[in-house]
Structure 1
Amino acid sequence: MTHTPHTPTHTAMRQSPLAGPAEGLLGFAGVLLVVAGVWHALTGIAALLNDNLYLSTPDYVYALDLTGWGWGHLVLGALVVLAGAGVLMGPTWGRILGIAVVVLSLVANFLFLPRYPMWSLALIAVDLAVLWALATRLVSRDEP
């Protein structure tokens, strides 16, 4: 049997049944990473410009001054946006970078809970959705 342009290739026939939904999950994860990165940056800018915006918690184990939190969120926001762009481009390294950065974001938001609980919980929810979408895509990947 000769290969014609209309004959499906072996790799096309081996495509995972989750390829369609999983591709949609990658777009979902990439866009949410960009949004979460912008939110982190806004959190950082607010912490740098207005110390009275966030709660002060005495004797908090992970206490940093708000300038430290502000710079941390600003840098993390830039990393999260870059990871989102990497995920949207589609290579495997983008998904792996996305997972690594979203784990950092989860930790940062957990540690920031006493300062701004509802905002941190919202970002944790977004991070968990992104982590699920990226992990689902890595697992459903069917490469030869």
Structure 2
Amino acid sequence: MSRARSDAGGAGWLAFGGWVLVLAGAFNIIAGLTSLFRPDYFVVGGGELLVFNFDAWGYIWLAFGLLQLLAGAGCLAGQRWARMTGIGLAGLSAIGHLTFLAAFPLWELASIALAVLVMYALVVPDKNAVA
């Protein structure tokens, strides 16, 4: 008996990256809504954030989350623009979570790790890609 060889490695990474990008977008939307409606939820006051305040971060995370949802859907559809956009958004998201680190350290470290995972999954080339 011979085993069937799967050539879906690249498509698998792209699908994985797309779904993790959608998940990260949902998390960022939740963080944005929490920043806007329950700023007392976080460990530090708004004046102790590295930059801006909770209202500003709330709108930033909402925008990032929505853009990540769209880019994730585009990645799942196999769109190259979505892959490049997703990589950029994940990088900017990681930087944003770093500046928000004092407010909720464990959640922000998990979000940074998720952003790095998205970047890796979207950068991995397809097995059949032509350079």
Same fold, judged at TM 0.5 (above)? yes
- Give the match for residue 131 of structure 1: 119
Alignment of 1:103-142 (within 5 A): 103-137=91-125, 140=127, 142=129
Q: CA deviation at 1:111?
A: 1.0
- Give the match for residue 86 of structure 1: 74
Are 1:86 and 1:98, in contact at CA under 8 Å, matched by a contact in 2? no
| TM-score using structure 2 length | 0.86
Are 2:24 and 2:111, in contact at CA under 8 Å, matched by a contact in 1? yes
Alignment of 1:27-106 (within 5 A): 27-56=15-44, 62-106=50-94
3-state secondary structure, aligned to 2:102: coil
Percent of aligned pairs with the same amino acid = 31
Cα RMSD, aligned residues only: 2.3
3-state secondary structure, aligned to 1:143: coil
- Give the match for residue 14 of structure 1: none
| TM-score using structure 1 length | 0.79
Take 2:125 and 2:21, find their aligned partners in 1: how far apart are those partners?
15
Are 2:21 and 2:69, in contact at CA under 8 Å, matched by a contact in 1? yes
Rg larger in 1 or in 2?
Answer: 1
Count matched residues: 127
